[in-house]
Amino acid sequence: MAGKAAKGQAFKDALRPLRRALPKAAPAHIAPPPPPAPEPEPVFSELFADVQPLKTDNRYPHRLPAPPHWPRHSAAQAHANPRPNAHITDSMVGWFEPATIDPSFVRAGMQRHTLKKLRQGHWPVVAELDLHGLSRFDAQQHLAVLLHRARQHGQCCVRVIHGKGLGSREGLPVLKQVIRTWLRHHPHVLAFCEADDAQGGAGALLVLLRRDSEGLGSDGR
């Protein structure tokens, strides 16, 4: 047993110098492969060498004319330039719309001072609708939605801006007349009047609505 132990110790002693020499040996360095050479850029003239230019046909592109611009007319210009078909359209005014434009309206059964309180701002304006640039059909839809939502939120006074009509084609009001006619026939409109000059004057209306709740007085309160 002693002899085997001596041989094992002698073998370890022989390996010790080899272990010390191993870390000193530098690892073999393997160089990375060189990057591939970039492909040469194609020559533009070679790419389109077989392309033939189109022949000119001497055509001129037809461009549509710009839409006419209808200038604003004053009331004096509207009377100075009568409408060409006035004798036809004026005879039909009474069939669908009144010939006169009412500056205010109050529903039967309301108190006499309702319009006065409306003009003086007794009911604050909580919503506003500008109808400039809309056709009469689009204006009616927007107005119906405004009145419906205002009543849903318990709001009783709104401002409707329909304009004075001086920018129309013939210098005569269109929305100003039809909007007031619609409001007169709306079941939830109690009254309306023209706003003061700071809020649009004759081109805007203050509209008093019946609130969507019970127990209201005859003046909307």
Tens-level pLDDT at each residue, the chain (221 residues): 566 666 667 777 777 776 666 655 556 677 788 888 888 888 878 888 888 877 777 777 777 777 666 555 555 555 555 555 555 544 444 445 555 677 889 998 888 899 999 989 899 998 999 988 888 888 888 898 999 888 888 888 999 998 887 666 555 677 888 888 889 888 899 999 998 888 888 889 999 998 765 434 444 54
- Distance from the Cα of residue 130 to its chain's centroid: 14
pLDDT of residue 205: 92
Distance CA(125)–CA(107), nearest Å, equals 20
Tokens 């008093």 found at: 208
Render the burial of 105-125: b for 16+ CB within 10 Å, e for the rest.
bbbeebeeebbebbeeeebee
Check residue 159 and give its pLDDT. 93
Residue 82, amino acid: P
- What are the angstrom distances between the C-alpha of 24 and each of 11, 20, 32, 80, 185? 22, 8, 24, 113, 107
Q: Helices (H) and strands (E) in the chain — how many of each?
A: 8, 5
